[in-house]
C-alpha cells in the first residue's frame, strides 16, 4: 500500500524573531517582480527573503575569503554597495 502524500508540501519554518512595523517607499513593480521570482506570498515575505539572500551572499563571500584567502571581486562594482566592517 502506498503512503499518502500530504496535501500541501511542508515548508521549513524559521526561528521566530521580534518584528517591528516599518514603512518604506518601494516600487510596487519591483516588489511584484521579486515576489514572482522568489515565489513568496506577500510583500513582507518578499522583502525578508531578499534580505536573507543578501546576508547569505555576504556569509559566502566571507567564508570563501577566510577558507582560501581569495578575495571575491564585485562583478558590477558600485560605490554605494561597499560593505562596512
Which residue did the predictor score with more confidence, 41 or 77? Answer: 41
Angstrom distance (rounded) from CA 47 to CA 85: 23
Percent of the chain with pLDDT over 70: 72
What's the average model confidence in pLDDT over 42-68?
A: 91
Instruction: Give the pTM.
Output: 0.62
Q: Where are the domains of the chain?
A: 28-69
Contacts of 50 (CB under 8 A, 6+ apart): 34, 38
Mean pLDDT of 4-28: 75
Query: Does the CA dihedral 44-46-47-53 come out positive or negative?
Result: positive
Looking at the chain, the whole-number percentage of residues with pLDDT higher than 90 is 42
Amino acid at each position: 500500500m502506498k503512503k499518502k502524500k500530504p496535501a500541501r508540501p511542508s515548508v521549513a519554518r524559521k526561528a521566530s524573531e521580534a518584528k517591528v512595523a516599518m514603512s518604506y517607499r518601494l516600487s510596487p513593480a519591483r516588489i511584484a517582480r521579486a515576489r514572482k521570482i522568489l515565489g513568496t506570498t506577500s510583500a513582507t515575505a518578499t522583502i525578508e527573503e531578499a534580505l536573507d539572500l543578501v546576508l547569505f551572499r555576504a556569509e559566502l563571500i566571507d567564508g570563501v575569503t577566510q577558507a582560501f584567502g581569495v578575495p571575491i571581486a564585485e562583478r558590477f562594482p558600485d560605490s554605494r554597495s561597499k560593505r562596512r566592517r
